[in-house]
Amino acid sequence: MGSPCELHLDEQPGLDFEAVARAAVDEVERLERKYTRYRDDSLTARINASAGDPDGLELDPETASLLDYAATACAQSGGLFDPTSGILRRAWDFHSERVPSPEELTPLLERVGWQKLRWERPRLALPLPGMELDFGGFVKEYAADRVAALCRELGARHGLVDLGGDLAVLGPHPDGSPWRVGIRDPRAPARAIASLALRAGGMATSGDYARCMVVDGRRYAHLLDPRSGWPVEGLTSVSVAAGHCLLAGTASTLAMLHGRKGPAWLADLGLPHLWIDADGQLGGSFVAGRHHEQLRGEARIAGP
């Protein structure tokens, strides 16, 4: 998953911890093999290799469900959530400290757009040669939910799945107390800027600090607007809690993509959330739970 992955389980009489942990690792590795864009033998690689073939590929039910979700998220976000926009990374190398030119972005943007592909379950076709589908924007959150569900099936009732800051709660601690999670300060990532309490569901954080570059004093984040091909500005971090990590992750990403309109969009959405803007201001329904340095050593610190 390209990030530290952890499973936290409280003591529970009769639970085979090794079996639960082994099943969790196997499930994460299965999804990694299937959906990563970094392996030539992954399903993602096969889908992208089929670009330009009008017949496309017939997909399995799990992948079909993920594409149905992506289609709904894209439609309801006005195109901001777009898994075809991963191709823009060809122009944006955040290790290069170089901003791409409009001439570099234009041919890539011609291949971006969910409406350009043909999805008629169970068959998917990417009609334009060079088009790509990237599951990276939501498969880690899906994996967190899958691992949590699998652990529950094996009898675990008190635990937390943490896949690179995407969280899914199996259940609270045995005494009913919540899992306390620290939110990273986007300008000092080793420090927690706020504390959240989770008893169930999932939480995800999107931010501009994990992959970014600063050129001539301007920060460019890895979250790219699929309509323009340029990084969004306005918010530096958004954390959202929801019934499932997948939903929380989509909401946090979309809030970042909305930029300065993100706080109003989150307020209308109605899910518990916290946002931090470029000026370091905090807002959202979680602000009352704010803590600072005292969180060190006391809470998990989550973030991208």
What is this structure's pTM?
0.92
Percent of the chain that is helix, strand, coil (3-state, to 5): 35, 25, 40
For the chain, which residues score pLDDT lower than 70? Answer: 287-304
Q: What is the pLDDT of residue 293?
A: 34
Residue 267 · residue 160 · CB < 8 Å: no
Domain range for 163: 157-302
Q: What is the pLDDT of residue 213?
A: 87
The reply to whether 294 falls in a domain is yes
| Average predicted confidence (pLDDT) for the chain | 91
How many folded domains does the chain comprise?
1
Q: Is 235 helix (H, G, I), strand (E, B) or coil?
A: strand
Q: What is the pLDDT of residue 304?
A: 52
The reply to whether 70 falls in a domain is no
Cα separation of 114 and 127, whole Å?
11
Q: What is the pLDDT of residue 298?
A: 36
CATH number at 232 reads: 3.10.520.10
Cα separation of 212 and 304, whole Å?
12
The reply to whether 274 falls in a domain is yes
Q: 111: alpha, beta or left, given left = phi > 0 and alpha = psi -120 to 50? A: alpha
Task: Kindly give, in sequence order, each residue whose CB lies less than 8 Å from that of residue 30, ignoring residues fewer than 6 positions away.
Answer: none
